[in-house]
Each structure stands twice: as C-alpha cells, then as structure tokens.
C-alpha cells in the first residue's frame, strides 16, 4: 500500500452536485481541516445553473493542501455522474461525499487507519470500510454495527444484523470500475443498491462503530410540502424513474433471494413495489412474472400482485386529486 501511495492519492473524495452552491462551502471547509491530506477532491457537476463553477474555480486557485478537480456535464442523473467520477478518479480508494454533507476533521485519517488494519493477505477480499453518520445535532443516524469491527457485506449487515440508517464509507476504485451503474436513456434514476449489492456478493467490507460524517436532511429551497408530494407521485409514474426501481427489485428477487428468511416482510413489500413500478413501465403482468427466475421470487410476486396493481391505479388518481387540491388553494389565495 505504501508503494502505491507514492504514485497516486490514497483517496478520491467524490462529490456529485446539482445547483448546490449554497451547501458546498460547508463541505469544502470540512475538507480543508482534514488531518490526513493524501487525497483529491473530485467534483462532477450534473448540469448546475447556479454559481457552482465560479465557487469551485476560486477554491482551485486558493487551495494548496489537496487537488480539486471539477467536471461539468449535461444533467443526466446522479448515477451517470457517479460512473464518470469512478472513471476520472486518481485515488486508490473512492469515497463519495454528498454536496450537502460534511465529515469530521479526522475522517480520512480514521478511514486510512482502518483500511491499513486489514491484514495484507486478506485485503484482496475486501472492498472497503464503512462507518456511521450523525445528524446536525450530533445524534447517531440509525443503529450500531453488531461488532467493532464487523467484517461482513452491505446485504448481510441490513438483513441478518438488522442495521438501520444512513452509513458512509469507501470502496476500492478498481472494484467500482467493474461495478458501474447501468446507463440507459430510459432510466433517470437507479437505486444505489444495484452497485452495492453486486459488490456485496463477492467482497467483504469492514464496518466500524465510528461516526465520521454529518448527514444533513434538507428541503430544497423554494419548495412546499404540497408541491413536493405532487412531484413525488409524478416521479413514481414517470417511466424513467419507474424503470430503474423495477430493475433494482428484479435483481433483488433473482440474485439475493437467499436473504428472504431474515426479512420476509421487507421482501413482500419489495414484491409489491416491483409490480407497481413494472406496470408504470408498460409491462404486462405475464412478462413481469417471467422476468423472475427463482421459485421463491415467483411465489412472492404472485401473492403481491393484487396490492401492486391497486397501487398502480391509485397513483394516477392521487396525482389528479393533489393537482386539483393545489389549484383550489391557489384560487382561494388569489381571491384574498
């Protein structure tokens, strides 16, 4: 590892962003105070129209402790930005950090420590290291890992050990190059589980009970709850959104059905979602059923079909209802 570090940074801290010039400064400040500086900051801008470019250009001119690299692309979604980031990364380890979050001052130092603590003869079987997040009040998000450390994978940690909540970690860049998100013009959104589950089937991850990231949950500026609810339903019935979700759930039943015994209810809910999203993609029930290749998966899909069909029809009715309510509210305010 030491020989590799002489030629390239150990970490690529990767940030995909879209119109987040108002949150990027706090992320930048948390990177400036890192106690470990053998990293680069790679930013893929997914079509921002705000002051993001001007902001980052200023930082590039004034920052000497670490390299900042910035690339702009037409808006194509976070999964496409992620793929490009992996291809552009110079670091051995790839650490995503969202544009509205921050990390502790020793985050990279601790990640490097835990990575180096994995015995050399076992390291080829590990993809990376994962730690915890806290909210803005310093409270742990979710639950702790069962052991410290826990050598497992992202599927087992959720299903068998019942660990909940947002977590944060890195993966080896060479592995991510082989496990990229599918890029299909018909898929606007791809659940991240597509990549993490694929890696989990082959590699282990070291999970450590340390809090290294602050996870911010914020509303977008200028949005109200009613319009957000309407937009959420619009996304669900959008074919470009539904296709990615259906793709993920199909993989769950074809490739990861062995975890069903640990979380049967979660799998049943996923079967309902698979039916719902597949119908929004324009697929026929017969074809939806044929796409599942495991016996357990087929049985789940069969029993979940009635609920999935009902939700599919309710989606269209709900968006019409919410739209009518919003228009009435606007009319009331116009009369006042």
Least confident range of 69-73, 107-111, 243-247: 243-247
Let me know whether 210 and 261 are in one domain. Answer: no
Count of the separate structural domains present in the chain: 2
Helix/strand/coil for 301: helix
Last residue of a domain, one of 192, 214, 236: 214
pLDDT, tens only, 7-54: 789 999 999 999 999 999 999 999 999 999 999 999 999 999 999 999
pLDDT, tens only, 204-237: 999 999 999 999 876 444 433 333 344 555 555 6
Let me know whether 196 and 249 are in one domain. Answer: no
Let me know whether 205 and 311 are in one domain. Answer: no
What pLDDT score was predicted for residue 332? 40
Let me know whether 236 and 153 are in one domain. Answer: no
Number of H helices, E strands in the chain: 13, 9
- Domain interval for residue 276: 225-335
Rounded to the nearest 10°, the torsion over CA 220, 222, 226, 229 is -30
Let me know whether 99 and 55 are in one domain. Answer: yes
Let me know whether 202 and 239 are in one domain. Answer: no
Q: Is residue 219 part of a domain?
A: no
Residue 83's pLDDT band (cuts 50, 70, 90): very high
Helix-strand-coil percent breakdown of the chain, rounded to 5?
50, 15, 35
Alpha-carbon gap, residue 271 to 288, rounded angstroms = 11
Let me know whether 210 and 232 are in one domain. Answer: no
């Amino acid at each position: 590892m030491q020989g590799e570090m002489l030629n390239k940074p150990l970490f690529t801290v990767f940030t995909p962003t879209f119109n987040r010039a108002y949150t990027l400064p706090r992320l930048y400040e948390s990177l400036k105070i890192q106690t470990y500086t053998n990293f680069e900051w790679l930013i893929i801008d997914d079509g921002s129209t705000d002051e993001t470019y001007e902001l980052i250009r200023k930082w590039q001119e004034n920052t000497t402790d670490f390299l900042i690299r910035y690339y702009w692309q037409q808006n194509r979604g976070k999964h496409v930005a992620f793929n490009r980031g992996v291809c552009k990364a110079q670091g051995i380890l790839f650490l995503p950090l969202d544009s509205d979050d921050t990390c502790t001052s020793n985050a990279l130092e601790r990640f490097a420590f835990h990575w180096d603590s994995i015995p050399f003869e076992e390291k080829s079987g590990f993809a990376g290291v994962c730690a915890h997040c806290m909210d803005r009040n310093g409270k742990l998000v979710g639950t702790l890992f069962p052991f410290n450390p826990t050598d497992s994978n992202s599927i087992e940690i959720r299903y068998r050990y019942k660990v909940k909540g947002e977590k944060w970690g890195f993966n080896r860049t060479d592995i991510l190059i082989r496990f990229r998100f599918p890029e299909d013009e018909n898929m606007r959104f791809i659940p991240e589980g597509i990549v993490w589950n694929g890696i989990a089937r082959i590699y282990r991850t070291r999970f450590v009970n340390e809090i290294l990231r602050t996870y911010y949950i914020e509303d977008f500026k200028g949005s109200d709850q009613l319009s957000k609810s309407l937009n959420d339903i619009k996304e669900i019935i959008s074919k470009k959104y539904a296709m990615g979700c259906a793709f993920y759930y199909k993989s769950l039943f074809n490739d990861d059905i062995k975890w069903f015994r640990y979380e049967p209810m979660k799998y049943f809910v996923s079967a309902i979602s698979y039916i719902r999203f597949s119908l929004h993609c324009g697929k026929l029930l017969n074809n939806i059923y044929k796409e599942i290749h495991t016996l357990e998966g087929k049985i789940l899909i069969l029993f979940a079909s009635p609920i999935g069909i009902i939700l599919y029809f309710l989606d269209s009715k709900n968006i019409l209802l919410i739209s009518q309510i919003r228009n009435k509210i606007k009319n009331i305010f116009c009369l006042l």
